[in-house]
Chains A and B, each alone.
Chain A
């Protein structure tokens, strides 16, 4: 089947394909993944019980915690010989989460991002600048493979060094830009300051990995002279390409031949009626190395039941509206307060965690990340050098645990505002600015 046609497959046929692939995924997972088999057994279910797509709702959920418990390879459904790539991202505490891909998985992944690019009018004539980070983060490689598959010319720029990013865009004639929306916003401003907008050849921007608003979209579109599209993905499920907007800019099409999206009530865990808002749950249908079944994303979201004007039959998801846990997205990186707590406990060498507050803001369209830590008699000394050393240790340990830099400020005891005796851990001032 032509990969373009599958986006327009009548829903009947799409559902038949989903069922066939779901049965296969459940069978493989049951045979190879101990964690899934145990949960199925606990429910008294066998793979053969999946007779209809409706039966998906009977299957057990999977969680981010599983990736920690089975770190690093315990959830893989193939021997490591068949795994050709791993990616990783920060987990809730200390340990990272690791995901793996077989050769077929990489090809499937490339297919998702290629179809997405195609749906946005990108062809072999385009020059795609990938300014998502390359490395353990899935962003860079995910877009890269799809752009190559489309036959476009790829500039594997990675993130950072804005003047060079802009110069490259101009010199290499980039027509497509992929990065985080806040970075796009920053680049748009720099382009404005440098007065080089008319030297750009950009027409399409693909932005994701963090929340952004319609207001930001308009500013980016205006500043770079492009159409800006939203992309969604998470490494546990695949990486970028799980879903993406089409030219209608009205919701992100889930690649339903590869994934089934459900919306559940996070409390009752029941599947909610079509169109309701709730927690987004994904099941992979074709992944070999790391299949996921009913993976709880913790993203709060809505599926759009109406057909899209573009004609693609695959369901769209609206932009996630929040989280069911306390995860923060800072400069595109997922951060949990528990990670910060762990570092403070370790570095301050105290039996109790010092009081702290995370302050997030957006300055010049970039996330600022500050952590106020209350000074305590147990680690105060008369020696400036040793206090500065403590501060530096916190900064460095945070960087190594989170992968991003934070500014640490030591503040007076009891200066962090408490409500009902409990300090508010996260002060997010970005909400009105994105």
Chain B
């Protein structure tokens, strides 16, 4: 399924990540998954949270630049080869992954992954036809 992700622009400086996360903590926003992509100058913090709109609002108030976009959440079998099978399907459909990160799932026997692809929507359609991709929204937003 497609879920909302927050992207936050951060200067690559001490304390910038902490400041952003502290705001979320103070406002009671819970983080389900995160990844930090960095360059020498800046980073992009990507977050899956329980309340994306509220998170965007409180972060914007502190003066950081925030963007909400849709990414693909996939629940796969938590067995050897589970990920490989998904990647096979995507490769066969000539879909390219731009980035991905894992998150901890509560659903027993399932592993959760967040992905952005060159065509995220088509990937979602593809995977929703199979046994994968059936993610319960509550599993993602409130782990």
Contacts and interface: CB of A to CB of B under 8 A. Distances in A.
Interface of A: 375-377, 380-384, 387-388, 391, 409-415
B37 A384 contact: yes
A387 B10 CA distance: 12
A396 to B, nearest CB: 16
A415 B11 contact: yes
Contact of B41 (A380, A410, A414): A410
A375 B39 CA distance: 15
Given A377-B67, A411-B11, A412-B65, 11 more contacts: A380-B67, A382-B5, A382-B67, A384-B39, A387-B42, A409-B41, A410-B42, A412-B11, A412-B64, A413-B63, A415-B11
Interface in B59-107: 63-65, 67, 69, 98
B70 to A, nearest CB: 10
Given A410-B9, A415-B11, A380 B65 contact: yes
A388 to B, nearest CB: 6
Interface residues of B, number: 19
Interface of B: 5, 7, 9-11, 16, 37, 39, 41-42, 44, 46, 63-65, 67, 69, 98, 116
Contacts of B10: 412
Of A377, A381, A382, the most chain B CB neighbours within 10 A belong to A382
A197 B12 CA distance: 42
A375 B44 contact: no
Contacts, number: 48
A357 to B, nearest CB: 13
- Most A C-beta atoms less than 10 A away, residue of B5, B44, B46: B44
30 contacts: A375-B65, A377-B65, A380-B7, A380-B9, A380-B65, A381-B7, A382-B7, A382-B46, A382-B67, A382-B69, A382-B116, A384-B37, A384-B39, A384-B44, A387-B42, A388-B39, A391-B41, A409-B41, A410-B9, A410-B11, A410-B41, A410-B42, A411-B11, A412-B10, A412-B11, A412-B63, A413-B64, A413-B65, A414-B63, A415-B63
